[in-house]
A = this chain, B = another copy of it.
Amino acid sequence: MREHAPLELEHFLPYRLSIASNTISQSIAREYQQRYGLGVTEWRVIAVLARYDGEGLSAREVAERTATDKVTVSRALARLVAAGRVRKRIHHGDRRRSVLALSAKGWAIHDAVAPRARAHEAALLARLDAHERVCLARILDKLTEAGRAPR
């Protein structure tokens, strides 16, 4: 016996995915982490508020669109508001809801960071050929879907 059939971590898909994701996220996060004192979550919130500018998103909607826990978003927002990067009003007609928007400061950060993030992404994609890029998009869709509905 002793047929333990050990798992070969380095060929295990979830593990490799996690390594790739962390390595890449880290390498991009360095761009704004120190320079703007911005965490990953905060950056994502800013990106979403920029993207849906004028729609006055609520915190819940931001949480949805960043695929992030509402608690995490709440705290990221608190930091952003305290730093004057996000303006927060109360919804007319539903006083539970907040109505969020980037301030000038928030826009400045977005406009500084977005091109860098895009450049970083481009550098990554440059390593793949056209076919691989298409394939990757399809694969990520399938895998994310699979993780969401595991049974």
Q: Residues of A with Cβ closer than 8 Å to B? A: 4-10, 12-28, 44, 47-48, 50-51, 53, 65-67, 107, 110-111, 114-115, 117-118, 120-121, 123-125, 127-128, 131-132, 135-136, 138-140, 142-148, 150
Q: Verify B20–A25 contact, CB threshold 8 A.
A: no
Residue contact B24 to A17, C-beta cutoff 8 Å: yes
Also in contact, A145 and B118, with CB within 8 A (given A4-B107, A4-B111, A18-B25):
no
A114 with B6, Cβ < 8 A, contacts A21-B21, A127-B142, A144-B20 known? yes
Q: Choose one: B12, B111, B131, B143; the contact of A117 (CB below 8 Å).
A: B12
A23 CA to B102 CA in the complex, in Å?
Answer: 29
Q: Tell me the interface secondary structure of chain A in the complex.
A: helix
Distance (whole angstroms) from the CB of A124 to the closest CB of chain B = 5
B132 touches A150 (CB 8 A): no
User: Top 9 A-B pairs ranked by shortest CB distance?
Assistant: A23-B147, A6-B50, A21-B21, A24-B147, A6-B51, A17-B21, A135-B135, A27-B150, A20-B144
Also in contact, A127 and B143, with CB within 8 A (given A8-B51, A17-B17, A117-B7):
yes
> Can you list 12 residue pairs at the A/B interface with Cβ under 8 Å?
A4-B107, A4-B114, A5-B114, A6-B110, A7-B47, A7-B118, A8-B51, A12-B121, A14-B24, A14-B124, A16-B140, A20-B143
| Contact among B4, B16, B139 with A132 in the assembled complex (CB-CB below 8 Å) | B139
A121: chain B residues within 8 A (beta carbon): 12-14
